[in-house]
């Protein structure tokens, strides 16, 4: 589904990504792991088009997306959860989700001003998503009043409001309490069972090894190992 081929990206003197290649197979959970600074988030930024590589290629469903815009890439079905929260604190959960549905800003502000009616279709989508992440009762709460873990749940839901074939999640459970971690694990496995493809960056090894089908290990900008969780757990180089 996704092929990353010989990617290079540097920031001044820092070689963040060096000759990085891997493949993401459809309908599986693939985890990208590795120490801080290994280049994982940079790879995500390259795939989603936020950054452009100096060399290398990214192929998504046989389309070369290496030099496409963020918007084009997102319209092809790559949806992304960021490492840092991107919710607007002063808006309600529902307003934040409307923003995800109306990615043209002007349309959104018109919605808030009541100039654009919120359609039944949008209401239904948002309700369905909130149910999925068990956050129905928080619809009218301000984002600022949610716990960190609850924000992550809303953001996770938001990734599937957009067109999506591949979900890319950057540290979905970092800073989230164990009970909500458990919920997120279930939601992700549920996504997979529905046929979605997930590419996940995560530091929590027990979480990752439990839900991932394939684990790719990065260090210093490149892939150093790849395999099933059992294989990775016993790989001396990885340890
Ligand atoms: P990871 O997500 O694996 O922790 P990153 O991809 O965030 O790693 O970072 C890889 C390296 O690139 C780090 O040394 C980091 O400091 C550097 N880096 C990442 N983004 C930038 C940037 N925008 N400008 C300068 N250096 C960056
Ligand atoms: Mg990172």
Best mutation site among 33, 37, 50 for ligand 1 pocket (most ligand atoms within 8 Å of CB):
37
- Please spell the DSSP secondary structure of 16-70, one letter per residue: EEEEEEEEE-TTSEEEEE-STTSSHHHHHHHHTTSS--SEEEEEETTEE-TT--H
Nearest CA, atom 14, ligand 1: 37
Confidence of residue 231 (pLDDT cuts 50, 70, 90): very high
State whether the beta carbon of 35 lies less than 6 angstroms from ligand 1. Answer: no
Ligand nearest to the CA of 51: 1
Top-ranked range on mean pLDDT: pick from 41-55, 103-117, 154-168? 41-55
State whether the beta carbon of 38 lies less than 6 angstroms from ligand 1. Answer: yes
Ligand nearest to the CA of 43: 1
Nearest CA, atom 25, ligand 1: 11
Nearest CA, atom 22, ligand 1: 11
User: What CA–CA distance (Å, rounded) separates 46 from 120?
Assistant: 36
Which atom of ligand 1 lies closest to the CA of 83?
A: 2
User: What per-residue confidence (pLDDT) applies to 141?
Assistant: 96
User: What CA–CA distance (Å, rounded) separates 152 from 170?
Assistant: 11
State whether the beta carbon of 14 lies less than 6 angstroms from ligand 1. Answer: yes
Q: Evaluate if residue 55 carries a pLDDT over 80.
A: yes
State whether the beta carbon of 40 lies less than 6 angstroms from ligand 1. Answer: yes
* Residues with CB in 5 Å of ion ligand 2: 41
State whether the beta carbon of 148 lies less than 6 angstroms from ligand 1. Answer: no
User: What CA–CA distance (Å, rounded) separates 202 from 25?
Assistant: 18
**Ligand 1 center to 37 CA (angstroms):** 6
Confidence of residue 170 (pLDDT cuts 50, 70, 90): very high
Token digits of residue 145: 């009043």
pLDDT tens by residue, 117-168: 678 888 898 998 898 888 999 999 999 999 988 998 898 888 888 778 999 9
Estimate the crossing angle of helix 148-159 against helix 93-101, to 10 degrees.
20
User: What CA–CA distance (Å, rounded) separates 46 from 60?
Assistant: 12
The 3-state DSSP class for residue 153 equals helix
Residues 6+ apart with CB under 8 A from 145: none
* Bridge partners for 170 per DSSP: 201
Nearest CA, atom 12, ligand 1: 16
């Amino acid at each position: 589904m996704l092929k990353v081929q010989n990617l290079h990206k540097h920031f001044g003197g820092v070689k963040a990504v060096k000759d990085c290649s891997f493949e993401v197979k459809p309908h599986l959970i693939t985890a990208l792991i590795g120490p801080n600074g290994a280049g994982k988030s940079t790879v995500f930024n390259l795939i989603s088009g936020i950054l452009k590589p100096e060399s290398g290629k990214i192929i998504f469903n046989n389309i070369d997306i290496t030099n496409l815009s963020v918007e084009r890439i997102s319209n092809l079905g790559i949806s992304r959860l960021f490492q840092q929260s991107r919710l607007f604190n002063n808006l309600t959960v529902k307003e934040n989700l409307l923003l995800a549905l109306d990615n043209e800003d002007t349309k959104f502000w018109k919605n808030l001003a009541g100039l654009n009616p919120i359609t039944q279709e949008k209401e239904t989508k948002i309700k369905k998503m909130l149910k999925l992440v068990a956050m129905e009762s928080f619809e009218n709460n301000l984002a600022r009043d949610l716990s960190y873990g609850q924000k992550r749940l809303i953001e996770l839901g938001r990734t599937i409001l957009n067109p999506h074939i591949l979900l890319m999640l950057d540290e979905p459970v970092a800073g989230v309490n164990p009970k909500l971690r458990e919920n997120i694990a279930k939601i992700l496995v549920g996504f997979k069972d529905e046929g979605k493809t997930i590419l996940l960056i995560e530091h929590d090894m027990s979480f990752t090894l439990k839900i991932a089908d394939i684990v790719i290990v990065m260090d210093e900008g490149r892939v150093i190992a790849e395999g099933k969780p059992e294989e990775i757990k016993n790989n001396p180089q990885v340890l």
